[in-house]
Amino acid sequence: INSKNNREDYCIDELLKIVSKGSSIMAEILRMKDYIPEVYEKPEELRRYQRIIFDFSYFNKLDSYEEQIRENSDLRNLDEEFRENYFEILERFYLIFSNIYKYIIELESFFESVKQGHYVQYTIENMLTSKSAKHLVCESIYLYGAMLMIVDKVIPGPTREKIIISYYRYSGQSTIKNITEIVKLFQSTGYGYDIKEKEMAKPKNYPQKYFERHRLNKDLLKMVIGTIKDNDIYDQIAAYPSPEHRSHALGTQASMIFVLLFFIGDYLESENSKMREIVDKHFSDNWVISIYMGYHCDILDYWKDFKAARNALNITISIESIKDLARESNEKLKELIKKLEKFYYEGTINEDYVLDNINSLLTIMRESNVVLKWYLLQLNTTNKKFKEIIQENVTKENLIALLMATSHFEHNLKVMFQRLIESKEKMWSEDKSNSIYRLKELSDYFAGMKNFGKQAKQEDFKDFFEKHLKNLESFSFTNSTMAGRKIIIMKEELDKIKKYHYVEGNLQIKQYINEIIGYLNHMLRVVNIKNKVLVNIAQISDFSYAWISIQDYLSTMQSLLKANSNNILYLKSVFLKLASILNFPLIRLFEANSPDIESVTNHYSTEIVNFVRNVLQIVPISVFKILERIIEIYNKGFKETPIKILKADIKDYSQLDERYELAKCVHLISLFTKGILAMEKTLVGIIEIDPKEILEDGIRRELLKLLATKFHSILDLNKNTKTDMSAKLQELGRVISAIRRGFIYIQDYINIEGSRIWNEELHRLINCYTDLEANKFLSRKIKLEAKYNLQKYPMPRFVMPKEETSASFLGRLFNHILLITKPKNTTYFHSLFSWYSNTTNKEVFSLKFLYLIKDSMGVEGFQGLFKLIGYHNFHNIFNLSRLYVKSNQDKQTLKNLQNIAKIITNPLIMEYSEKDTIKNFFSVVTSLSKGLSNIYFNYIVTIGHYELIKSLMHHCLRESVEYESNCLYSQIVNFNKIFLHNIRNKQEPSFPTIEGSDERKVSNPYDHLLKDTNPDSHQVNQQKTPDDFYRVLNDVFYDFSLSEETFYMDISKYDYLVVVLAMVTYTELLVNYAKEKNSIVKKNKNEEYSFIYFFLGIRTILNQMGKKSSVLYFSILHNLRKNYLMNAFTLKELKNNDSKMDIPEGLLVVDLMLKEIQVKMKLDPKEIDLCSGWRMKIA
Contact status, residue 458 vs residue 509, Cβ threshold 8 Å: no
Mean pLDDT of the chain: 83
Kindly report, residue by residue over 604-632, the tens digit of the pLDDT.
999 999 999 999 999 999 999 999 998 88
Most confident of 582-596, 629-643, 1119-1133: 582-596
1079's enclosing H/E stretch is strand 1079-1082
User: Which pLDDT belongs to residue 1031?
Assistant: 35
Residue 1007 sits at the vertex; the CA angle it makes with 1003 and 1011, to the nearest 5 degrees, is: 145
How far is residue 846's CA from residue 850's CA, in Å, rounded to a whole number?
A: 7
Share of the chain above pLDDT 90, in %: 39
Q: What strand order describes the sheet that includes 843-846?
A: 826-829, 834-837, 843-846
Kindly report, residue by residue over 300-334, the tens digit of the pLDDT.
999 999 999 999 999 999 999 999 999 999 999 99
**Residue of 1130, 1171, 1176, 1108 lying closest to 908 (CA atoms):** 1171
pLDDT over 50 at 1008, yes or no: no
The SS3 of residue 837 is strand
Contact status, residue 589 vs residue 24, Cβ threshold 8 Å: yes
pLDDT over 90 at 56, yes or no: yes
Which of 187-191, 463-467, 1141-1145 is predicted with the least confidence, judged by mean pLDDT? Answer: 1141-1145
Which CA distances in Å does 381 have to 37, 297, 397, 521? 31, 8, 19, 50
User: Which pLDDT belongs to residue 999?
Assistant: 34
Indicate the residue type of 871.
Answer: Y
User: Which pLDDT belongs to residue 423?
Assistant: 87
Beta-carbon contacts of residue 519 (< 8 Å; ≥ 6 apart): 431, 432, 434, 435, 438
Indicate the residue type of 964.
Answer: E
Which CA distances in Å does 9 have to 13, 16, 259, 591, 980? 6, 11, 29, 13, 68
Contact status, residue 556 vs residue 461, Cβ threshold 8 Å: no
Q: Give the confidence band of 160 by pLDDT, cuts at 50, 70, 90.
A: very high
Dihedral sign for Cα atoms in the order 1122, 1124, 1130, 1133: negative
How far is residue 1124's CA from residue 1116's CA, in Å, rounded to a whole number?
A: 12
Kindly report, residue by residue over 402-412, the tens digit of the pLDDT.
999 999 999 99
pLDDT over 80 at 688, yes or no: yes
User: Which pLDDT belongs to residue 455?
Assistant: 56
**Residue of 175, 529, 485 lying closest to 352 (CA atoms):** 529
User: Which pLDDT belongs to residue 984?
Assistant: 63
Q: Where are the alpha helices (DSSP H) in 754-887?
A: 754-774, 784-788, 809-820, 847-887
How far is residue 398's CA from residue 403's CA, in Å, rounded to a whole number?
A: 9
291's enclosing H/E stretch is strand 288-292
| Residue-wise DSSP of 654-721 | H-HHHHHHHHHHHHHHHHHHHHHHHSPPEEETTEEE-HHHHHHHHHHHHHHHHHHHHHHHH----S-T
pLDDT over 50 at 1003, yes or no: no
Most confident of 169-183, 442-456, 862-876, 1160-1174: 862-876
Q: Which residue has the higher pLDDT, 1168 or 297?
A: 297
Measure the CA dihedral 469/470/474/477, to 10°. Answer: 0
The SS3 of residue 321 is helix
DSSP lists the bridge partners of residue 1090 as 1079
1082's enclosing H/E stretch is strand 1079-1082
Which of 461-475, 511-525, 980-994 is predicted with the least confidence, judged by mean pLDDT? Answer: 980-994
The mean per-residue pLDDT over the stretch 380-392 comes to 92
987's enclosing H/E stretch is helix 966-987
Residue 347 sits at the vertex; the CA angle it makes with 345 and 350, to the nearest 5 degrees, is: 130
Indicate the residue type of 495.
Answer: D
Q: Give the confidence band of 192 by pLDDT, cuts at 50, 70, 90.
A: confident
Q: Give the confidence band of 1029 by pLDDT, cuts at 50, 70, 90.
A: very low
How far is residue 359's CA from residue 338's CA, in Å, rounded to a whole number?
A: 19
- How many CB atoms are located within 10 Å of the residue 826 CB? 21
pLDDT over 90 at 489, yes or no: no
Contact status, residue 719 vs residue 803, Cβ threshold 8 Å: yes
Dihedral sign for Cα atoms in the order 1045, 1049, 1054, 1055: positive
Phi, psi of 66 (to 5 degrees): -65, -35
Contact status, residue 1058 vs residue 1109, Cβ threshold 8 Å: yes
User: Which pLDDT belongs to residue 306?
Assistant: 93
User: Which pLDDT belongs to residue 905?
Assistant: 67
pLDDT over 80 at 737, yes or no: yes
pLDDT over 50 at 152, yes or no: yes
User: Which pLDDT belongs to residue 1027?
Assistant: 37
The mean per-residue pLDDT over the stretch 434-458 comes to 77
Residue 556 sits at the vertex; the CA angle it makes with 555 and 562, to the nearest 5 degrees, is: 85
How far is residue 1111's CA from residue 736's CA, in Å, rounded to a whole number?
A: 50
**Residue of 588, 621, 590, 586 lying closest to 605 (CA atoms):** 586
115's enclosing H/E stretch is helix 73-115
DSSP lists the bridge partners of residue 199 as 194
**Residue of 854, 855, 849 lying closest to 864 (CA atoms):** 854
Q: Give the confidence band of 997 by pLDDT, cuts at 50, 70, 90.
A: very low
pLDDT over 80 at 1179, yes or no: no
Which CA distances in Å does 5 have to 8, 11, 133, 572? 5, 11, 12, 39
Beta-carbon contacts of residue 178 (< 8 Å; ≥ 6 apart): 98, 101
Contact status, residue 151 vs residue 160, Cβ threshold 8 Å: yes
Which of 66-70, 439-443, 702-706 is predicted with the least confidence, judged by mean pLDDT? Answer: 439-443
Q: Which residue has the higher pLDDT, 169 or 349?
A: 169
Query: What does the H/E/C string look like for 4-15?
Result: HHHHHCHHHHHH
pLDDT over 70 at 978, yes or no: yes
DSSP lists the bridge partners of residue 1074 as 1079
| Residue-wise DSSP of 742-785 | HHHHTGGGTT--HHHHHHHHHHHHHHHHHHHHHTTT-SS---HH
How far is residue 609's CA from residue 604's CA, in Å, rounded to a whole number?
A: 9
Which of 176-185, 771-780, 964-973, 1067-1076 is predicted with the least confidence, judged by mean pLDDT? Answer: 1067-1076
Indicate the pTM of the whole model.
0.83
Q: Give the confidence band of 1067 by pLDDT, cuts at 50, 70, 90.
A: confident
How far is residue 726's CA from residue 734's CA, in Å, rounded to a whole number?
A: 12
How far is residue 599's CA from residue 24's CA, in Å, rounded to a whole number?
A: 9
pLDDT over 50 at 1012, yes or no: no
Which of 674-683, 850-859, 900-909, 928-937 is predicted with the least confidence, judged by mean pLDDT? Answer: 900-909
For the chain, the farthest-separated pair of C-alpha atoms sits apart, in whole angstroms, at 155
User: Which pLDDT belongs to residue 721?
Assistant: 57
Start-to-end Cα distance in the chain: 96
Kindly report, residue by residue over 738-767, the tens digit of the pLDDT.
999 999 989 888 888 999 999 999 999 999
Which of 126-130, 504-508, 667-671 is predicted with the least confidence, judged by mean pLDDT? Answer: 504-508
pLDDT over 60 at 869, yes or no: yes
The mean per-residue pLDDT over the stretch 840-850 comes to 90
Cis peptide before 207 (omega within 30 of 0): yes
Which CA distances in Å does 319 have to 312, 322, 383, 393? 15, 5, 11, 16
User: Which pLDDT belongs to residue 1089?
Assistant: 83
User: Which pLDDT belongs to residue 678?
Assistant: 78
User: Which pLDDT belongs to residue 946?
Assistant: 93
User: Which pLDDT belongs to residue 104?
Assistant: 96
